Amino acid sequence: MIVKLFASSGPSVQVASQQVFTFHGVGITNSELYGWGVILVVICLLIWAARKTKIMPGKGFVGLIEEGVSFVMQMVENAFSRPEVGRKYVPFFVTLFFFILFNNWSELMPVIGQAFNHGGTPLFRPWTADLNATFAMGIVTMGLVYYASVKESGGLKIYLRHFFVGSPKNPLYFVIGLLEMFTDLTRVISLSLRLYLNITIGMIVIDVFGYLGHYIAPVSALPFFLIEIFIGALQAYIFTILSVMYLAVAVNHAHDHNDLSHEEYLTEDKVPETIGAESGSLSTGNA
- In the complex, which residues of this chain contact another protein (CB under 8 A)? 13, 15, 190, 193-194, 197-198, 200-201, 234-235, 237-238, 241-242, 245, 287
3-state SS of 240-259 is: HHHHHHHHHHHHHHHHHHHH
Of 64 and 234, CB closest to another protein: 234
Q: How many CB atoms lie within 10 A of CB 43?
A: 11
Of 15 and 156, CB closest to another protein: 15
Residue 129 CB, nearest approach to another protein (Å) = 12
Residue 42 CB, nearest approach to another protein (Å) = 23
Of 166 and 210, CB closest to another protein: 210
Residue 243 CB, nearest approach to another protein (Å) = 12
> Which residue from 147, 177, 179, 144 is spatially nearest to 163, judged by alpha carbons?
177
Burial of 44 (0-12, 13-18, 19+ CB in 10 A): exposed
Residue 186 CB, nearest approach to another protein (Å) = 12
User: 78-102: string of b/e by CB count within 10 Å (b at 16+)?
Assistant: ebbbeeebbeebbebbbebbbbbbb
Residue 202 CB, nearest approach to another protein (Å) = 10
Residue 79 CB, nearest approach to another protein (Å) = 11
Of 178 and 287, CB closest to another protein: 287
Residue 38 CB, nearest approach to another protein (Å) = 23
DSSP letter for 89, please: G
* Long-range residue pairs from 62-65, CB within 8 A, at least 24 positions apart, any chain: 65/98
Of 13 and 260, CB closest to another protein: 13
Of 74 and 258, CB closest to another protein: 74
Of 46 and 193, CB closest to another protein: 193
Beta strands in the chain (DSSP E): 2-3, 19-23, 26-29, 116-118, 121-122
Q: How far is CA 12 from CA 16, 164, 227, in A?
A: 12, 49, 20
Residue 201 CB, nearest approach to another protein (Å) = 6
Of 118 and 194, CB closest to another protein: 194
| Cα 123 from Cα 234, distance rounded (Å) | 27
> Which residue from 106, 167, 163, 100 is spatially nearest to 136, judged by alpha carbons?
100
User: 249-281: string of b/e by CB count within 10 Å (b at 16+)?
Assistant: bbbbbbbbbeeeeeeebeeeeeebeeeeeebee
